[in-house]
Structure 1
Amino acid sequence: MRLAALLCALALPIGCATGGKTVQESVDALMRDYAGDGPGASVLVIQDGKPVVERAYGFADLEARTPATPRSNYRLASVSKQFTATAVLLLARDGKLGLDDPVRKWLPSLPAKAADAITIKHLLTHTSGLIDYEDLMAEDATEQVHDADVLRLLETQDRTYFAPGADYRYSNSGYALLALIVEKASGKRYADVLRERIFLPLGMDRTVAYEKGISEVADRAYGYSLIDGRWRRTDQSSTSAVLGDGGIYSSIDDLAKWDAAQYDDRLLDAQSRKLATTPWTKTDDPAIEYGYGWRITGETLWHSGETIGFRNVIVRYPQRRLTVMVLTNRDDPEPYRTALRIAELFLR
């Protein structure tokens, strides 16, 4: 055995990669676009339940010159959907709602012509055919909309894109309605349900469904976009206050606890976890199927999140006990392929 190979075999968990680099050095090379004097990223690799790479790059707040750290809290955007789905599954386990319940049982103001055949399961799997609420907003809208406003917009629509269950179309509208159903079924505010039923039990003490004027985000990473060659703060848009489809802020430190809960019964029982990760529907990409808040590609469970100023991804290889998270507070580059390349360092 060559000396380099022997050293790799005997190395600490961060191990060795190709070309004599440690895995950590290889991760740094893959994340070089985020290093330096710009908005940044936080990266976590968990293997066999242990963090083997935990790195941060660039700045969480350019104006204050605050570096990104593993404790920086990023707006998760659509990565939030797995938490909305989990809240629904917890209430289903409690007998407070049924996944086959008609949506109009909980939200009767939706037009019967459009929504009569839509179930909670259709919302979870993006097979409802609901009209995208973003397309119903005024083009010059500057005031932020909330989940309840999404319902009001959909109350004006007596049509769907297709018959419920007949096709797939990614739907932020559906997840906003799920947040409202969680409130109706629990009798509590959506943000409180997440805090009481998910975040606090898992020790995710700094994770929050953010509501301006009600909650705060500790160690907040602010979002930026590259405009005319300069990074401009683009932290909020008119849709940033909708919680069910993307309003959660969290860090890689807290999300490590979320990842651990996917392997045992501390939050969801085995049956509920299986429901969440079953490929219920094909999507518009032949390589991807969808569960409840999770995309499924081959052996991976994953979800990305993109909103103004943030791009994030979590990629899990549950059979290999491997997870890669990349959270960023910038509009570019897209982190999914980078996360896959990081995962490859551990899959050899």
Structure 2
Amino acid sequence: MEQACDRGGRGSRRPNGSENGGGELSAPRLRVDTPERAGLDPEELQHLVREFHALTTGERPWAPGAVLVAGRGPVIAVQEASGWAVRYASYDPEADAGVELPPEARVPVRVDTPFDLASLTKLFTAVAAVQQIERGTLGIDARVGAYLPEFTAAVTHGITVRELLTHTSGLRPELPLYDCDDDAGRLDLLRAEPPIGVPGTYTYSDLNPLLLQHVLERITGRRLDVLVRDGITRPLGMTSTRFGPCPQAAATEDQRRPWAKADRGMLRGVVHDENAWALGGVAGHAGLFSTARDLAIFCRALLAGGAYGPARILGPDFVELLLTPPGLGFAIDQKWFMGELAGRGAAGHTGFTGTSLVLDPSTDTFVVLLANTVHPRRRPPDNTPRANTATRLARAVRGT
């Protein structure tokens, strides 16, 4: 199997570097098997697969390419790829259409094709933070200013780590860091940015995981990409998950103004998010690339209380902390993309490039849908396919 984004071998170590010992049994690894073995209704899953393949067909498909992995317990019951990882050479604004590559130059999607995860990166930042909370090196209700005294706005307004993890800091959704010419200017903007909303009130913001990244890097002395690799992806054997560049990833956008915030041309293998790009590709809110199978492992580990195979990345109590409403980094019961899986404690997230994952502890199910909906140009998001996919999985559980 192609490992386009491999950055190291497998491991089985705890976040603190110790082996998963103490007599603890290994958690089951994922395997591909029948819907019946997964405890899922095969007819509902057949509907799910047909609807999935329809997402990449037609002149204006929902996405040029997509990969779907879904299952229950340790069983992957659906693993499908459809469409094109690279279909367009550019975007033609006059025709409002993509300029298609000749068939021989297009790149088909495979089940192991990496995608730009966009905001799914936030989930890994959240897990890295909860790992530090578990160690006792980070206080969930500690003030950010206690770790970053030079972040004057956070100090003045008493922003806490919990507020960053729950998007209740009052910080605006984003800052135009991509317009700064140097790292010092970008850092000055972050340090001086005050809340514009009422603290304690939910306002989704990329600035929250960006500040959290600085906290984590300060208290550990390690970069976020190293924390994610050593604490999450390497122990779990997620060998195709890494921060970019990732040359074999599905293409994203022909990024040009005025529809984008920078003039970068057709993007493939480099982060789509303009702020993450300006920050060098490693950011708390965006920058990771991964495959659907790797993300299924991530979901399985959380559903199993933080363990996968011989590795444990979190203790069960801290997984519960992560996934208890309102969720630390994870969205909980968001019906607009979770469909009928919502309402039971399902957790997940979406990414601007067309990515999403949902895991439902109440039914032990997970679904990962990766797509390049912004290829060749971003458009208003249509979350109906995400919600429909989750609903089909929920009905497959009920139909058994």
TM bin, normalised by shorter chain, reads: 0.7 to 0.9
Report the Cα distance in structure 2 between the residues aligned to 1:57 and 1:114, rounded to whole angstroms: 49
Query: Contact 1:17–1:345 (CA<8 Å) still a contact in 2?
Result: no
Once the two structures are superposed, the pairs formed by residues 77-88 of structure 1 within 5 Å of their partners are 77-88=118-129
Report the Cα distance in structure 2 between the residues aligned to 1:190 and 1:272, rounded to whole angstroms: 20
**Aligned AA (1:269):** G
Once the two structures are superposed, the pairs formed by residues 129-208 of structure 1 within 5 Å of their partners are 129-134=170-175, 136-137=176-177, 141=179, 151-157=187-193, 159-165=194-200, 167-208=201-242
Structure 1 residues not aligned, in runs of 5+: 1-8, 211-215, 280-289
Question: Secondary structure of the residue that 1:128 maps to in structure 2?
Answer: coil
Aligned to 1:339: 389
Percent same amino acid among aligned pairs? 27
Q: What displacement does 1:114 show?
A: 6.4
Question: Secondary structure of the residue that 1:320 maps to in structure 2?
Answer: coil
Q: Is 2:347 the partner of 1:302?
A: yes
Aligned to 1:221: 250
When residues 142 and 337 of structure 1 are mapped into structure 2, their CA distance, relative to the original with a 3 A threshold, is farther
Q: What displacement does 1:119 show?
A: 0.7
Q: Is 2:57 the partner of 1:17?
A: no
Aligned to 2:113: 72
Query: Which of 260, 266, 270 lines up with 2:316 in the alignment?
Result: 270
Moved more, 82-91 or 242-251: 242-251
Report the Cα distance in structure 1 between the residues aligned to 2:106 and 2:188, rounded to whole angstroms: 41
Report the Cα distance in structure 2 between the residues aligned to 1:319 and 1:247, rounded to whole angstroms: 30
Query: Contact 1:81–1:245 (CA<8 Å) still a contact in 2?
Result: yes
Q: What displacement does 1:319 show?
A: 1.5
Moved more, 123-132 or 34-43: 34-43
Query: Contact 1:44–1:55 (CA<8 Å) still a contact in 2?
Result: yes
Query: Contact 1:278–1:291 (CA<8 Å) still a contact in 2?
Result: yes
Query: Contact 2:153–2:191 (CA<8 Å) still a contact in 1?
Result: no
Q: CA RMSD in A?
A: 3.0
Aligned to 1:58: 83
Q: Is 2:294 the partner of 1:248?
A: no
Report the Cα distance in structure 1 between the residues aligned to 2:186 and 2:291, rounded to whole angstroms: 27
Query: Contact 1:106–1:181 (CA<8 Å) still a contact in 2?
Result: yes
When residues 85 and 346 of structure 1 are mapped into structure 2, their CA distance, relative to the original with a 3 A threshold, is same
When residues 129 and 94 of structure 1 are mapped into structure 2, their CA distance, relative to the original with a 3 A threshold, is same
When residues 205 and 12 of structure 1 are mapped into structure 2, their CA distance, relative to the original with a 3 A threshold, is closer
Aligned to 1:3: none
Query: Which of 254, 263, 274 lines up with 1:238 in the alignment?
Result: 274
**Aligned AA (2:274):** S
Question: Secondary structure of the residue that 1:72 maps to in structure 2?
Answer: coil
Once the two structures are superposed, the pairs formed by residues 82-97 of structure 1 within 5 Å of their partners are 82-97=123-138
Structure 2 residues not aligned, in runs of 5+: 1-33, 88-100, 257-264, 307-311, 334-342, 375-380
Q: Normalising by the residue count of structure 1, what TM-score does the alignment of the two structures yield?
A: 0.79
Q: What displacement does 1:237 show?
A: 4.5
**Aligned AA (1:254):** D
Q: What displacement does 1:312 show?
A: 1.3
Query: Contact 1:142–1:238 (CA<8 Å) still a contact in 2?
Result: no
Report the Cα distance in structure 2 between the residues aligned to 1:162 and 1:10, rounded to whole angstroms: 47
Q: What displacement does 1:300 show?
A: 4.1
Q: What displacement does 1:115 show?
A: 4.2
Query: Contact 1:74–1:328 (CA<8 Å) still a contact in 2?
Result: yes
**Aligned AA (1:98):** G
Question: Secondary structure of the residue that 1:169 maps to in structure 2?
Answer: coil
When residues 260 and 122 of structure 1 are mapped into structure 2, their CA distance, relative to the original with a 3 A threshold, is same
Q: Normalising by the residue count of structure 2, what TM-score does the alignment of the two structures yield?
A: 0.69
Report the Cα distance in structure 2 between the residues aligned to 1:70 and 1:96, rounded to whole angstroms: 38
Aligned to 2:329: 293
Structure 1 residues 235-290: Cα deviation after superposition (integer angstroms, max 9, x where no partner): 635224352012211111111211121113421101111111111xxxxxxxxxx3
Report the Cα distance in structure 2 between the residues aligned to 1:305 and 1:44, rounded to whole angstroms: 15
Query: Contact 2:69–2:80 (CA<8 Å) still a contact in 1?
Result: yes
Query: Which of 22, 27, 33 lines up with 2:49 in the alignment?
Result: 27
Q: What displacement does 1:108 show?
A: 1.6
Query: Contact 1:126–1:171 (CA<8 Å) still a contact in 2?
Result: yes
Report the Cα distance in structure 1 between the residues aligned to 2:192 and 2:355, rounded to whole angstroms: 33
When residues 339 and 15 of structure 1 are mapped into structure 2, their CA distance, relative to the original with a 3 A threshold, is closer
Report the Cα distance in structure 2 between the residues aligned to 1:251 and 1:169, rounded to whole angstroms: 29
**Aligned AA (2:54):** R
Query: Contact 2:197–2:203 (CA<8 Å) still a contact in 1?
Result: no
When residues 131 and 108 of structure 1 are mapped into structure 2, their CA distance, relative to the original with a 3 A threshold, is farther
When residues 11 and 97 of structure 1 are mapped into structure 2, their CA distance, relative to the original with a 3 A threshold, is closer
Report the Cα distance in structure 2 between the residues aligned to 1:209 and 1:259, rounded to whole angstroms: 19
Query: Contact 1:104–1:116 (CA<8 Å) still a contact in 2?
Result: no
